[in-house]
């Protein structure tokens, strides 16, 4: 198809282009599950975007989402009702997890893995997949 040219190579993109690319891919995933995604240009409440359900059912609510390159926990994200979304390219799989819920489950493991955990309370495992957390993350896999 001449109109779209050739597919891009993700590795050739700069950081801003990668952020835009990842947002567009995540938007497609959320659409499959009935959510409209709107970017938040000023990272309101630390969210990159808000996902609002198409249908207003009792069990659905808007999701405040931070798009990351891998499993991430930051102290500044606590108590924000924030979800973390990331794509694992090795497994061609998206993950969406409630930051605080998984943080609580993994805190003792994070203390072991991050030498200055008590000081920073930060963990970012990108771009590779943390195999030690696989069993925890399976619950948050997005099938699409």
pLDDT in tens, 106-144: 999 998 888 888 888 888 888 778 889 999 999 999 988
Report long-range pairs for 40-47 (Cβ below 8 Å, ≥24 apart): 45/80, 45/82, 46/76, 46/77, 46/80, 46/82, 47/80, 47/82
Calculate mean pLDDT across residues 88-116: 91
Residue 59 lies in a domain: yes
Residue 62 in 3-state DSSP?
Answer: coil
Range of the domain at 55: 10-142
| Token couple for 43 | 């990272």
Q: Decide: 7 and 15 in contact? Cβ < 8 Å.
A: no
Note the pTM of the prediction, 2 decimals. Answer: 0.89
Residue 4 lies in a domain: no
Calculate mean pLDDT across residues 17-33: 93
Residue 26 lies in a domain: yes
Residue 3 lies in a domain: no
Residue 135 lies in a domain: yes
| 98 vs 83: CA distance, rounded Å | 4
Q: Decide: 86 and 68 in contact? Cβ < 8 Å.
A: yes
CA dist 107 → 47, 101, 123, 125, 129 (Å): 22, 10, 10, 15, 18
Residue 52 lies in a domain: yes
Residue 5 lies in a domain: no
Q: Decide: 71 and 133 in contact? Cβ < 8 Å.
A: yes
Q: What is the CATH number of the domain that holds 133?
A: 3.40.1350
pLDDT in tens, 45-85: 789 999 999 887 766 789 999 999 899 999 899 999 999 99
Would you state the pLDDT for residue 24?
A: 96
Would you state the pLDDT for residue 127?
A: 78
Number of domains in the chain: 1
Residue 2 lies in a domain: no
């Amino acid at each position: 198809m001449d109109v779209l040219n050739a597919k891009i190579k993700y590795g050739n993109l700069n950081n801003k282009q990668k952020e835009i690319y990842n947002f567009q891919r995540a938007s497609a995933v959320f659409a499959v599950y009935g959510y409209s995604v709107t970017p938040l240009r000023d990272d309101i409440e630390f969210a990159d975007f808000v996902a609002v359900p198409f249908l207003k059912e009792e069990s659905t609510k808007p999701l405040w989402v931070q798009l990351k390159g891998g499993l991430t926990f930051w102290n500044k994200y606590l108590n924000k009702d924030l979800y973390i979304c990331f794509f694992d390219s090795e497994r061609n799989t998206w993950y969406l997890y409630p930051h605080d819920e998984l943080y609580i489950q993994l805190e003792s493991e994070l203390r072991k893995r991050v030498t200055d955990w008590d000081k920073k309370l930060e963990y970012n495992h990108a771009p590779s997949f943390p195999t030690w957390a696989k069993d925890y993350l399976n619950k948050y896999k997005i099938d699409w």
